[in-house]
Chain A
């Protein structure tokens, strides 16, 4: 099973460049999300989606765009990269809530982004 697949694993950008981090899952999960991980700050939610065509902002959405045209894919776009966006990015997915129970989040391997 592939699980959650992120590409690229490493990327170096110059300030002002744009790029897209790809995320795909093959588990038919309705919920997908993007986090950034920074030292001493844990994981902070950027954007999330509860199904195709539905996205919403997390804790730190500024500078990032997302779309969800299919259940499988949830790309994260940086329109004009800034050094403050240097981080490790994780995509994660899970099944839709069952009542008040939320299932386990499955994480991708991460994408390390450096903005010069």
Chain B
């Protein structure tokens, strides 16, 4: 079955630490890849997206992600986290093997940044 895996369910970091959140997917063919963020009590917002071209994608608030097709991965990174980055992060994949274009989410990673 098609799936999106986020292996880190909870991550705790101190401010200024570097962040890397893993995301792997099991689709073949063309994919569109997304990272969404959900701040406490809020709805999901787009952090960054990959459609094609440069596999290193830069998003808002200093986040970036790298698409590695051979590893079916799209890991999220930030060199130096801030307390305000405390949130839940979701990886999502849209596959074109399935003509219905459904966007499937991973289970999410809760990030807590300690001041």
Contacts and interface: CB of A to CB of B under 8 A. Distances in A.
A88 B33 CA distance: 24
A31 B94 CA distance: 13
Contacts of A97: 101
Nearest to B42: A109
Nearest to B108: A42
Contacts of A50: 100-101
B96 to A, nearest CB: 6
A107 B34 CA distance: 14
B43 A43 contact: no
A48 interface: yes
Given A100-B30, A100-B32, A101-B32, A108 B43 contact: yes
A105 B43 CA distance: 11
Interface residues of B, number: 26
Contacts of A100: 30, 32, 51-52, 96
Interface in A20-58: 31, 33, 35, 40-45, 48, 50, 56, 58
Chain B contact residues: over half helix, strand or loop, or mixed? loop
Nearest to B30: A100
Contacts of A105: 34, 36, 44, 46, 103
A102 interface: yes
A110 to B, nearest CB: 6
Interface in B79-115: 90, 94, 96, 100-108
B32 A110 contact: no
B9 A104 contact: no
Interface centre among B6, B34, B94 (most CB of A within 10 A): B94
Contacts of B94: 102
B30 A45 contact: no
Contact of A102 (B43, B45, B101, B108): B101
B100 to A, nearest CB: 6
A44 B105 contact: yes
Interface of A: 31, 33, 35, 40-45, 48, 50, 56, 58-59, 90, 92, 97, 100-102, 104-105, 107-110
5 contacts: A42-B90, A45-B103, A104-B46, A105-B36, A105-B103
